Structure 1
Amino acid sequence: MRFFKHYAPGMIAKHISRLFNGKIHIHGIGEFRFEAGKLIVPSQAEREQYRMIKEINLEVARLRLSY
C-alpha cells in the first residue's frame, strides 16, 4: 500500500500504471484499490470521490498513450 500526503493525480497515475494492482491511501480522502491499472470505485463512494477517480483514470490513459 502506498500513502500519498496530498492529492496529486499525476503522481498517483504513475504509481498505478507501474504496479497495475494494489491499494493506495490519500491523506484526508481515503483508501482505494486499483486493478488492471485503473482505480476501482468503492461501494460507498461520494460525489467528490467519483470525480477524483475519473480524473486519475484519465491521467493513467494519457500515460499509456504517451508510451
Structure 2
Amino acid sequence: MRIFKKYQPLLIAKYVKTFFSGRLYIRGRGAFLYAKGMLVMPEHADERHRVTVQEINRLIGRLQAPQTA
C-alpha cells in the first residue's frame, strides 16, 4: 500500500498505471483500490471519492493515448 502525503493527480496516475493493481491512500482523500491500471469506484463513494477517481482515471487515459507530434 502506497501512501501519498499530498494530492498530486499526475504522480498518482503514473503510479497506478505502472503498478496495475493494489491499494493506495491519499492523505485528506482516503483509501482507494486500483485494478487493471485504473482506480476503482468504491460502492459507497462520497462526492470527494467520485471526483478523485474520475480525475485520476481521466489522467491515466491521457497517459495511455498515443502522442502526436
**Would you call these one fold, judging by a TM-score over 0.5?**
yes
The one-letter code sitting in structure 1 at the alignment partner of 2:35 is E
Give unmatched runs, 5+ long, in structure 2: none
Partner of 1:52: 52
Give unmatched runs, 5+ long, in structure 1: none
> Radius of gyration: which is bigger?
2
Q: Could you report, residue by residue, the CA deviation over 1:16-57 in whole angstroms, capped at 9, with x for unpaired residues? A: 010000111001211100000110111221112111110000
How many residues get paired? 67
* Percent of residue pairs identical: 36
Supply the distance in 2 between the matched residues of 1:19 and 1:58 (Cα, whole angstroms).
17
Q: Which runs of 4 or more aligned residues in structure 1 lie more than 2 Å from their structure 2 counterparts after TM superposition?
A: none
Q: Equivalent residue of 1:60, what SS? A: helix
**Counting helix residues as a fraction of each chain, which structure ranks higher?**
1
Supply the distance in 2 between the matched residues of 1:43 and 1:60 (Cα, whole angstroms).
21
Q: Equivalent residue of 1:14, what SS? A: helix
Supply the distance in 1 between the matched residues of 2:42 and 2:5 (Cα, whole angstroms).
20
